[in-house]
Structure 1
């Protein structure tokens, strides 16, 4: 057997091994989701049948109807949408303004502020739980939308500023200079020229921010106390009763809670991947 033939065979075996590994990884990651989807259409008793069945004989939308017709459970989704959308929009606005300043201007304390931003991103959120709880209570924001929104922004802003700064750094400064030569100011250059070009970066940061706010559990549990302020992750936990769990409703609510993020990623996947790649480049 020639050396070239051995190389081709080894290359083919390597490709087959990689493909098999990827397929095995995809099955390992996807099976729990498939089982969750299947269980959401079963009765609570059928979930515990042995041997277990992936395809149910008594297909039913009962769990979904129970959730979507219950005002308390629907309120969980409303709260999550209000908080996640508000956090996303406010984070993007502040991040765009801050990133433009860091990318285009030199000012005193710039390096120190950058270090502070990175440091906040590195702090484990759980270590800030008690201090933020005390602060929110003192400010009268406990069990309110502003309390959750402002707290979430503390954790979404550092990443958003870092990513948007990296993205703006990839855009040529000649664009700003051309706008100024036409007699316009910095804000015009930002909102009329740079922001439209930076849509991939903005979309990627927006999706990431929405995911953080939508899936957050710890602070949503600590900073709210009434059911009318609970979000979807807390709503799923509340379905776990003292003596029994409504597993089919838990699975159904988990599926419904995954839909917004899945839709965002499917529709904006091209922008998301392009924005992450560009934002990670430092110039």
Structure 2
């Protein structure tokens, strides 16, 4: 006597896989839409007159589409100065941070010296301190040193917060490079300085780029210290310039949106241009520290 067992109708493994992929895709689309919607609205508002920004129902494009907000910003020397200050400060912070971080990371990665472990603890500890807790001490320090309302004051302050991360990441990146590279250079009669700049730095471009882009982003977008450590309009940066468009009785919403868009372009261009290096550098720096 043969007993036949009937299989329950169910969902095949391939169907489940396709459904999972579809759910993942829908989730990514929803997340991207949620993240991009404010940027799209900001871009739309920058081309509208103030009277139409809060109209209901809202419209992305209106008949009064205009570049007037951008024209007023780019033809106003005071507002252009905000961008110049941000470029000077962010550029200097990035270059100096990379230089110091490369030298320090090479020392931590390749040499043994007194207090090496305590110094590592100090670097990590500084990274863990909330920046706002240091606001008043740095204000007093900059005033005492005569660096208040100056480029060096802002640059040195920003470096305090960008250097720990840069040193940690570059040390991790150098640790992934074989020491045989250094030994081969020394066999040829060269020293550690040549090994660093002629061998290690050229093959560490992904790590250097990732640290540089991150550092530039931090310095470009910083608001609190830029507000506290400067007092004159000619020293203000872009984040402060956006805040200054908020008047006592009225807000220049379209100019605020236009300046926000213009202020986002440098970071966006950097990230898109160096995206390949940025992602690879972050992954390599986190492998071994």
* Same structural fold, with TM-score higher than 0.5 when normalized by the shorter chain: yes
Change (3 A) 1:3 1:141: farther
Instruction: Name which one, 1 or 2, has greater alpha-carbon Rg.
Output: 2
Helix, strand or coil at the partner of 2:190:
coil
Match of 1:12 in 2: 18
Equivalence map 1:99-248=2 (5 Å): 99-248=105-254
1:142-180 Cα deviation digits (max 9, x unpaired):
000000000000000000000000000011100100100
2:3 equivalent in structure 1: none
Closer/same/farther in 2, CA of residues 16 and 135 from structure 1, 3 Å limit: same
Hey, what does 1:69 align to over in structure 2?
75
CA distance in 2 between counterparts of 1:169 and 1:251 reads: 44
Q: Which residue does the alignment assign to 1:44?
A: 50
C-alpha contact (below 8 Å) 1:142/1:223 kept by paired residues: yes
**C-alpha contact 1:167 1:279 (8 A) present in aligned 2:** yes
2:101 aligned with 1:95: yes
Scaled by the length of structure 2, what TM-score is found? 0.96
Number of residues paired by the alignment? 283
Moved over 6 A (4+): 1-4
Structure 2 residues without counterparts, runs of 5 or longer: 1-6
Tell which deviates more after alignment, 52-61 or 250-259.
52-61
Instruction: Tell me, yes or no, if the aligned pair for 1:87 and 1:149 is still in contact at 8 Å.
Output: yes
Could you tell me whether the CA contact under 8 Å between 1:85 and 1:210 is conserved in 2? yes
TM-score (norm 1): 0.98
Shift in Å, 1:2: 7.1
User: Any conservation in 2 of the 1:38–1:56 contact (CA below 8 Å)?
Assistant: no
For 2:115 and 2:29, how far apart are their aligned partners in 1?
50
Question: 1:19-30 alignment to 2 at 5 Å?
Answer: 19-30=25-36
Kindly indicate whether the alpha-carbon contact (under 8 Å) linking 1:220 and 1:231 is maintained by their aligned counterparts in 2: yes
Deviations 1:3-43 (CA, angstroms, capped at 9, x unpaired): 99522222221111111111000000000000000110111
Mean CA deviation greater in 270-279 or 3-12: 3-12
Offset, 1:51: 1.1
Separation in structure 2 between the aligned mates of residue 48 and residue 212 of structure 1, nearest angstrom: 32
- Corresponding residue SS for 1:126: helix
**After the TM superposition, which of the residue ranges 72-81 and 7-16 deviates more from structure 2?**
7-16
2:231 aligns to what SS in structure 1? coil
Quick one: distance in 1 between partners of 2:142 and 2:223?
Answer: 17
